[in-house]
Amino acid sequence: MKIRIAALGIAPTLMLAATAAGAALDDAKAQELLKNGGCAICHSVDKKGIGPAFKDVAQKRKGDAIATLEKAVRSGSKGAYGSIAMPPSSQDKISDTDLRELIGWILTK
């Protein structure tokens, strides 16, 4: 009986995880978030601009947790890719949920 109760408690969590994994960003939605969040001003997917290309970020940060990268975006960073500092990006520019999804998308590049 205890096993059944535990399984019932785990099932909704597994369903949510499967839904989140299946809801990965497509390129069009990612580009929209990049534009609306202000990221596209300095970054592009495959060409260095003011900031690094996202393919370079993905290569350098491949083993990093999304939460680590989210903190860097929220608080800003300096020196990770040269002398240009990245200003902090607030929640009024991009929500936490959208930022996490976008970072996950970037890490696939």
Residue 76: which region, alpha, beta or left (left: phi > 0; alpha: psi -120 to 50)? left
pLDDT of residue 12: 45
pLDDT of residue 24: 80
77 SS3 class: strand
Could you tell me the residue ranges of all domains in the chain?
25-106
Give percent of the chain above pLDDT 90. 72
Contact call for residues 94 and 34 (beta carbons, < 8 A)? no
| Residue-wise pLDDT tens digits, 39-80 | 999 999 999 999 999 999 999 999 999 999 999 999 999 988
Domain 25-106: which CATH class? mainly alpha
pTM for this prediction: 0.75
Average pLDDT rounded to a whole number, residues 16-29: 64
